[in-house]
Structure 1
Amino acid sequence: MKLGILFSGQGAQKAGMGADLYAALPAYRETIDQASAILGYDLQAVANDEAKITQTAYAQPAILAMSNAIINALGDVLPTPVAGLGLSLGEYSALTASGVMDFNQAVAIIKDRGIYMQTVGEANPGKMVAVMGDDQALIESVLAALQAAGKRVYPANYNTFAQLVIGGVAADVDAAVEALTDAGIQRMVELPVSGAFHTPLLKDAALQLTTRLAGETFKATQYPVYSNTTGSVFTADTLFETLTKQIISPTYFAQALQKMLDDGVDTLIEVGPSDTLIKFAKKIAPKDVKRYAITDVDSFNAVRDLLLAEGKEA
C-alpha cells in the first residue's frame, strides 16, 4: 500500500462532528481535550453547536483537532504515508500529522488564523461561486477581462480539473457569473461562506498571520506534504513564505493531488468531518486507486479493519 492522507478543509464542518468518535475512542477524546485546554473552551461542545461551528474562528481549530485526533486514534495501525495533502486549512493538519508542527503549536496558530480570517472577512465581505466546466482557461480569461475593467473577482480554488471556485467582491462575482453564462458556462453554485477566501480581499489577514508566524520554529517533515499554493512539496526553505501567502493565493488541490498520484499513491484516506476531498479525488484519480474517508465511528472502524488486514498481508 502506498498511502496518501487527505485532510479536510474549512467548509467540511457540521454540527455534531466527531461526537461519536469523542464518546467511543479514548485517544480521540484525549486529543480534543488537549485542544480545548489550549483554546480555553470546550471544543466538542462548540463542535456540537450549530451556530458556532459555522463561524470561521471556531470551525478552523475544530477541523484541525478532529483530523489529528483521528490520526492519533489510528495509532500504529496507520502505515507511514507516501504523502499528505490538505485543502487550505487542512495543510496545517497535514503538517502537524507529519511532524512539522507539534499539536499544541498548531492549535494555537489556527486559533489566531481563524480569528484573523473571520474578522477581515467580515470587514471585507465577498462571495464565492463554484464554476463547473473543464475549460478552466476560458474561466481564467473571463476573470482577467473583468479584472482589467476594474472588477475584483479572482480564481480561488482549483478543486478538480472541472471545478474552479471564484471569489471576490459580491457585485463583481455576480458580474463574473453573468459573463461566464454568456461565455457558455452552464453550471455555477454559490457557496455558503462568510468571505472571499484565497483572494486579495484577505490581504490584512495574511499580514497578521505573517507577524504571528515570525517567531515560530518548524521541524522537518517525516514524509512529504504537498502545498496547495505551490502544487509542490513543502520544504523548510519555503514553508514560512508559503503559509503566509496561502490565505490570499489560489489553492491548487487538483494539481497537487495529481502529483501525489504520479508519485505512486494507490490508496487515499481523508480524515475530517466530511468526504469532500475524496469526492474531488474520484474525479481526478484512476478508478483503481482506493478511496476512503473517516468521518465517524463506523467509517473509522471500517478503515481501521482494512488497514489491519493490509498489515497482516504485508
Structure 2
Amino acid sequence: MSKAYVFPGQGAQFSGMGKELYDNHSSAKALIDQSNDILGFDIKNIMFSGSDEELKQTKVTQPAIFIHSVVAALTSDDFNPDMVAGHSLGEFSALVANGVLSFEDGLSLVSKRAMAMQKVCEMQESTMAAVLGLEDEVVERVCAETDGVVVAANYNCPGQLVISGEVAAVNAACEKLKEAGAKRALVLPVGGAFHSPLMEPAREELAEAIKNTNFSDPKCPVYQNVDAKGYSDVDNIKKNLVLQLTSPVRWTQSVQNMMADGASSFTECGPGKVLQGLVKKVDRAMEVSGIS
C-alpha cells in the first residue's frame, strides 16, 4: 500500500488561494509571510485578493501555486509519501515537500524559472494547444510533419495531449489534427511555448541557478517529468529538472509507472483538482484525494 502525492502546475491558481491555510496554521502563516521577503513583492496579497489577470502573470502564477502546494503538504498531518511527482512547475513543489530543497531555495528557483520563461515569451511569439481524442503517436507524427517548431509538450492522460511551439506551426498542426480525427484542437490562452525547444534560453538560465543551489537526498523517490521514472539520487534529479524546461511533461507515463510500482492512492497537494482528474483517466478505480 504505497501513498503517492502529486503537485499541480500552472493553471491551478485562483483568487483566495492559501488564505485558509494562512488563517488556520501558524507554520503556514510564517512560510507565506516569508515568501514576500524572498520574492521582493507582496505575493500574499495577490494570492488572497488578486484579480485573475494579476494571478495569470507567469512571475506570479508559478510562485503562487508553488507556495500553496508546499504549505498544504507541510502543514498536513497526513503527509507521509512513499513516492511524489509534480506536473511541470509542480516538480519543484514535490522536491521541497520531499526534503530535497529548502522552502527558500525552492521558491527562489521557481521565481528565477518563471522570470526566465517570461523573458523567452516576450522575445518570440509562441503558444500551446490542447488536443483531445487522438493517439499520442498520431499527434507526434503530425507535429513532425508540420513546418516550423511544434512538438508534443504535455502527455496529460490517454487521449489528452498538449502541443507547443511557434504560433503559425501550432495553428497549422491544429488544422491537420482536426483532419486526422481529433475531437478538439484548441489553442490555449498561454503566453509561450513551454516544454518545447523554444525554451532553450530559459533552460540555460535555470541550469546556472540549479548548479548554485544546495540539494539534499529525497525521503522517497520523485518521479520526474522528463522520463517518468522514479529518482532518489541528487545528480539525476538536478539534471532532469534542467532538461524539463525544453522536454515534454510525461505525466501519463509517470502516473502509470507509479501505479506499476505499487501506488494504491494519489493525493493532490495544492490548488484545484486537475491532477486527481488525470489520475482517474489513467485508472478509474484508483483512490484520489486532495489537500488544499
Under TM normalisation by the shorter chain, which class is it?
over 0.9
Q: In the alignment, which residue of structure 1 is the partner of 2:167?
A: 170
The one-letter amino acid paired with 1:254 is T
Alignment CA distance shift 1:115-1:79 (3 Å): closer
List aligned pairs for 1:90-105, cutoff 5 A: 90-105=90-105
Q: In the alignment, which residue of structure 2 is the partner of 1:228?
A: 225
List aligned pairs for 1:1-314, cutoff 5 A: 1-47=1-47, 48-50=49-51, 51-74=53-76, 77-146=77-146, 150-234=147-231, 235-287=233-285, 289-295=286-292
Residues in 2 aligned to 1:144 and 1:69: alpha-carbon distance in whole angstroms: 41
Residues in 2 aligned to 1:94 and 1:28: alpha-carbon distance in whole angstroms: 17
The one-letter amino acid paired with 1:55 is Q
Q: Contact between 1:31 and 1:72, CA under 8 Å: does it hold in 2? A: no
Unaligned runs of 5+ in 1: 296-314
Secondary structure of the equivalent of 1:238?
A: helix
Residues in 1 aligned to 2:166 and 2:250: alpha-carbon distance in whole angstroms: 21
> Percent sequence identity over matched residues?
36
Residues in 2 aligned to 1:249 and 1:60: alpha-carbon distance in whole angstroms: 18
Give the greater-gyration-radius structure (CA): 1
Secondary structure of the equivalent of 1:71?
A: helix
Q: Contact between 2:13 and 2:272, CA under 8 Å: does it hold in 1? A: yes
TM-score (norm 1): 0.88
Q: Deviation of residue 194 (structure 1)?
A: 1.2
The one-letter amino acid paired with 1:271 is C
Unaligned runs of 5+ in 2: none
Q: In the alignment, which residue of structure 2 is the partner of 1:303?
A: none
Q: Deviation of residue 294 (structure 1)?
A: 2.5
Deviation above 6 Å: which 4+ runs of structure 1? none
State the Cα RMSD in Å. Answer: 1.4
Q: Contact between 1:7 and 1:94, CA under 8 Å: does it hold in 2? A: yes
Secondary structure of the equivalent of 1:184?
A: coil
Residues in 1 aligned to 2:176 and 2:238: alpha-carbon distance in whole angstroms: 37
TM-score (norm 2): 0.95
Q: Contact between 2:73 and 2:79, CA under 8 Å: does it hold in 1? A: no
Q: Contact between 1:261 and 1:285, CA under 8 Å: does it hold in 2? A: no
Q: Contact between 1:231 and 1:256, CA under 8 Å: does it hold in 2? A: yes
Q: Deviation of residue 17 (structure 1)?
A: 1.4
Residues in 2 aligned to 1:58 and 1:257: alpha-carbon distance in whole angstroms: 28
Secondary structure of the equivalent of 2:129?
A: strand
Q: Contact between 1:5 and 1:268, CA under 8 Å: does it hold in 2? A: yes
Q: Which region of structure 1 is more displaced relative to structure 2, 194-203 or 1-10?
A: 1-10
Residues in 2 aligned to 1:170 and 1:282: alpha-carbon distance in whole angstroms: 32
Residues in 1 aligned to 2:80 and 2:21: alpha-carbon distance in whole angstroms: 22
Q: Contact between 1:29 and 1:69, CA under 8 Å: does it hold in 2? A: no
Instruction: Name the one with the larger strand percent.
Output: 2
Q: Deviation of residue 19 (structure 1)?
A: 2.0
Secondary structure of the equivalent of 1:20?
A: helix
Residues in 2 aligned to 1:201 and 1:293: alpha-carbon distance in whole angstroms: 34
Q: Deviation of residue 41 (structure 1)?
A: 2.2
Q: Work out the number of aligned pairs and report it.
A: 289
Q: Deviation of residue 79 (structure 1)?
A: 4.8
Residues in 2 aligned to 1:182 and 1:21: alpha-carbon distance in whole angstroms: 47
Residues in 1 aligned to 2:23 and 2:187: alpha-carbon distance in whole angstroms: 35
Q: Deviation of residue 106 (structure 1)?
A: 0.6
